[in-house]
Structure 1
Amino acid sequence: MKILEALEPKTFDEVVGQEHLLDSRALFKNIVISGDFQSIILIGPPGIGKTTLARLIGRQHSMIFYRLHAANSGTADIKKIVEETKGYGKTSIVFIDEIHHFNKSQQNLLLNIIDDGYVKLIGASTENPFYNLIPPLRSRSLLFEMKKPKRDDFKKLFLRAIGWLKTEYNVEDVVFDDDLKDLLIDASNADVRKFYIMIDSLAKISKKVDNKLLISSEDITLLPFDITFNTDNYYHLLSAMIKSIRGSDPDAALLWALRLVKNGVDPKIIFRRLLISASEDIGNAVPTALSVVNAGYEAFEKVGMPEGEIILAHVITYLASIPKSNKSYLALKKCNEYLEKHNPLPPDHLKNNSKDYKYPFDYGDFVKQSYMPEKKVFYKPSKIGFEAKIYDRLIKLWGKEIYEEK
């Protein structure tokens, strides 16, 4: 859109909200000015200027700028850039959005062209991508976190946008309601791109009277944006999804999960919460649930969106429909509570090289002996799903009395 191009910062001094990176003493500012880096990784939510910073770095050193998105770019795209860069005879900047989507072979190719000096790499991600990068690329990369602009930062951006509207619509003034600025800031959810697009969209449906552009805050409801979705709603929807899984309602769980996706939440964030649910809420009632979710997570990363929604729906409806148990989760809590008040040490026969230890396989597969100074039961299996078999076995081995509810 014209407003995004017109208001994109042309110098580092025009960037707002990233003072921790652009202060004169900041490491980021200094390596950018000197050009003394091989690879930079920028982390931050959507719409806060990761691409803008990358462009400014290229402009700082008059470098040719290439932009790729890891979700829809491959090895051929990288090789093409390398060949073009060789022809130019100077270093270029390759900016890769959502760099954590690149597989190992693609990352190894990046590694080679970085070491050959053909390009400087700038990666961007909405989450910390380090655990997805191969070790050699990690060691060559400097990671910098970008912060969401503060409210005062958006007020500066608003004034810039109003100035642009005056020129774009050839009016002497832009008239707006007192609460318009705050409503737009709230609706943008700290996304600068969305903030500008909403302002431009409002201007397009506003009236021009007496060489003035009249913008009404009431018109925000006419915009094709979900202006009610904010951080609180994100946590409310995530909570509703997990509680629906815990309550064995697959329909409600799917509803809230897709509501999150439709509002721009990265499905991988949802998958990570599902991994927790598989242990916290299902546990040993269906021990394989964790493997199913993990497999779904890995499959989603290979497939991506929009088909990845099928995998997400598969995993969510599965978790919500199977037997539940929180007994292993409760065992964790009870054990932690015990350790807050006690500092136990292993019995002598369990210590290293002890001759008094009884090897269970010498007695079949089990022999009674103490494994802690005093017997404490943290884990009390339920009689649900597979965990019922665990319950029966432990009772057979240790006696029913210690597992009876008190």
Structure 2
Amino acid sequence: MFDIPVPPLAERMRPHSLADYLGQQHLLSPTAPLRRMIEAGSPPSMILWGPPGVGKTTLANVIAHSAKMPFQTLSAISAGVKEVREVIAQARGRKIMLFIDEIHRFNKAQQDALLGAVEKGAITLIGATTENPSFEVNSALLSRCQVFTLKPLSSEDLTALVTRALQEDEVLKEKSVELRETEALFRLSGGDARKLLNLLEQSVEAADLQGEKYIIDDALVMQVGQRKTVMYDKTGEQHYDIVSAFIKSIRGSDPNAALYYMARMIEGGEDVKFIARRLLILASEDIGNANPTAMILANNCFQAVNVIGYPEAEIILSQTAIYLATSPKSNASYVAIKQARQLVQQTGDAPVPLALRNAQTKLMKKEGYGVGYKYSHDYNGNFAEQEFLPDTLVGTKLYDPGNNPRENEMRTRLRAMWKEKYGY
């Protein structure tokens, strides 16, 4: 007779009701719309978007349990159109809930197979993804679902989770465990509840009995964590550390370090679209108008790797990463839009100057809309000095060109047109 294996702690502690669910209070507080829909038994089709280990799968199970609906699960890694159609066929005559983990891995045909059933209400779809749904989910399917963003668990959530595990888990509560420190547990788990509980369980197993207690401290957790660390875990803390190092190496103009960290991502099986998307964002955020060609190349890289895939895509990624790393840098556009948004939050009701307003009616013309506007192309150099900002913001400079050859040219041109007005 074989012993039944004990599930991992993360599985043993998986909550089955909203009362036991920790975190995501922006979605599940008593007054939050999603909670009200769940409690009413009428949840919509939805996409749950968030990093690993924040409770996407658990929330889907809780929703299905609360709605008292037949529950089917598929993994986008192994399922295809055939499996999707089989589930839809089961829905004839009764509504079912279908949970698809990693839905971003479904291709267009697989996602399209869901459209009719979701639109007719034959199935309530819950898709989970760690990737931005705007990029990874077809617009037709996305329009039929509500997107809910899940956040990494706070330190308070993690503390409550560890406390609950030590007090309520059938295995751990039989041991006298003293948790002296939590910093290493929280840092290595990175807000991932599953990783936190697994690391806690491994630490308890590795702990020595001191007197009558198993002592858990940061030194033990670090020892256990380092022993379990892999070269690149694309679903855990390593993912964020390596990506951060990759971006900062390019920003710091070091192509060698950039290629090293990119190689670690490639060897770890990272999605080429994720790497290319990060390069595209960086091309605008960290290079911008210091070299506008960088964004063109990065966009072409993003399109190309989507068509080619591994392994050849690594050559395109390498070329682009090297180009961006060796390009002049400027974050002036990034800083400018941040300052502009902050200004709008403070003065978003400032009236538009009358000269710039669109006179669509006789009354508007009578009120002076459009009067005094100078059409730039009627003037020498296609420029006429006039005021574009609201009266309360006259002279406000949001864009400050970076100190590089291209943006210095832009600064010179702006100074020639606006003289001392903006301080260029």
Query: What is the TM-score with the length of structure 2 in the denominator?
Result: 0.67
Q: Whole-Å Cα distance in 1 between the matches of residues 24 and 175 of structure 2? A: 30
In 1, Cα distance between equivalents of 2:282 and 2:289:
12
The alpha carbon displacement at 1:172 in A equals 4.2
The alignment partner of 1:90 has SS state of coil
**Match of residue 58 from structure 1:** 64
Residues 3-31 of structure 1, C-alpha deviations (whole Å, 9 max, x = no match): 22211112221111134433444322222
Shift of the alpha carbon at 1:275? 2.3
Q: Distance in 1 between matches of 2:335 and 2:162?
A: 50
SS at match of 2:52: coil
- Distance, in Å, in 1 between the alignment partners of 2:157 and 2:402 is 54
Mapped contact 1:344–1:373 kept (Cα < 8 A): no
Q: Where do 1:6-405 residues align within 5 Å?
A: 6-60=12-66, 61-69=68-76, 73-86=79-92, 89-130=93-134, 132-163=136-167, 167-168=170-171, 172-179=174-181, 181-207=182-208, 214-217=214-217, 218-220=219-221, 221-223=223-225, 224-225=227-228, 241-242=246-247, 244-256=249-261, 271-279=276-284, 282-283=287-288, 287-300=292-305, 312-322=317-327, 368-373=381-386
The Cα shift of 1:316 comes to 1.2
Q: Match for residue 366 of structure 2?
A: none
Q: Which amino acid aligns with 1:113?
A: A
The alpha carbon displacement at 1:114 in A equals: 1.3
Match of 2:205, as an amino acid? K
Residue deviations 1:123-178 (CA, integer Å, cap 9, x gap): 2223542465445434432232323333232222213322466x437x84323342
How has the CA–CA distance of structure 1 residues 193 and 235 changed in structure 2, closer, same or farther, with 3 Å as cutoff?
A: closer
> Structure 1 CA distance, aligned partners of 2:338 and 2:69?
57
Quickly say closer, same or farther: Cα 1:139–1:324, change in 2 above 3 A: closer
Task: Supply the distance in 2 between the matched residues of 1:379 and 1:155 (Cα, whole angstroms).
Answer: 44
Say if 2:69 and 2:95, in contact at 8 Å, map to a contact too: no
Amino acid of the structure 2 residue aligned with 1:173: K
Deviation at 1:195, TM superposition (A): 0.6
Partner AA of 2:207 in structure 1: S
Q: Aligned partners of 2:158 and 2:340: how far apart in 1?
A: 47
Paired AA for residue 317 in structure 1: I
Structure 2 contact 190–237 (Cα < 8 Å) conserved? no
Compute the displacement of 1:207 (Å).
Answer: 3.7
Tell me, in whole angstroms, the C-alpha distance in 2 between the residues paired with 1:250 and 1:155: 40
State the shift of 1:213 in Å: 6.0
CA-CA distance at 1:192 after TM superposition: 0.4
Aligned residue for 2:176, secondary structure, equals strand
| CA distance in 2 between partners of 1:250 and 1:194 (Å) | 32
Offset of residue 51 of structure 1: 0.3
Rounded to whole Å, the distance in 2 between the matches of 1:379 and 1:28 is: 43
Deviations 1:348-395 (A, max 9, x none): xxx99x9x97979xxxxx974534449x9x8999997xx69x97xx99
* Partner in structure 1 of residue 390 of structure 2: none
Distance 1:372 1:318, change over 3 A: same
Query: Which residue is 1:402 aligned to?
Result: none
How far does residue 73 in structure 1 lie from its aligned partner after superposition?
Answer: 4.3
AA in 2 matched with 1:293: A
What secondary structure is seen at the aligned counterpart in 2 of 1:316?
A: helix
- The answer to whether the Cα contact below 8 Å between 1:346 and 1:373 also exists between their aligned partners in 2 is no
Deviation at 1:296, TM superposition (A): 2.6
| Structure 2 unmatched runs, 5+ | 1-6, 342-346, 357-368, 388-394, 418-423
Compute the displacement of 1:39 (Å): 0.7
Counterpart amino acid of residue 292 in structure 1: L
Q: Which AA in structure 1 matches 2:258? A: A
Q: How many residue pairs are counted as aligned between the two chains?
A: 381
Letter of the aligned partner of 1:214 in structure 2? Y
Shift of 1:34: 3.2
Q: Which moved more, 1:153-162 or 1:47-56?
A: 153-162
Contact kept in structure 1, 2:288 and 2:333, CA below 8 Å = yes
CA contact (8 A) 1:281 1:324 kept: yes
Q: Is the 8 A contact 2:80 2:110 kept in 1?
A: yes
- Counterpart residue identity of residue 51, structure 2: P
Q: Deviations over 1:270-314 (max 9, x none)?
A: 644532442455556754432221233345556778986665444
User: Residues 206 and 213 of structure 1 are in contact (CA less than 8 Å); yes or no, is this contact kept in structure 2?
Assistant: no
195-204 or 147-156: bigger deviation: 147-156
Distance 1:4 1:303 in 2: 38
**Preserved CA contact (<8 Å) 1:247 1:320:** yes
Asked whether the equivalents of residues 282 and 325 of structure 1 are also in contact (C-alpha less than 8 Å), the reply is yes
Shift of 1:50: 0.6
Q: Percent identity?
A: 34
- Give the gaps of 5 or more residues in structure 1: 361-365, 400-405
Change (3 A) 1:188 1:261: farther
Q: Deviations over 1:19-50 (max 9, x none)?
A: 44334443222222333244122222210111
CA distance in 2, matches of 1:379, 1:19: 40
Name the SS of the counterpart of 1:52 in structure 2: helix
Cα distance, 1:301–1:200 mapped onto 2, change above 3 Å? farther
2:190 maps to a residue whose letter is N
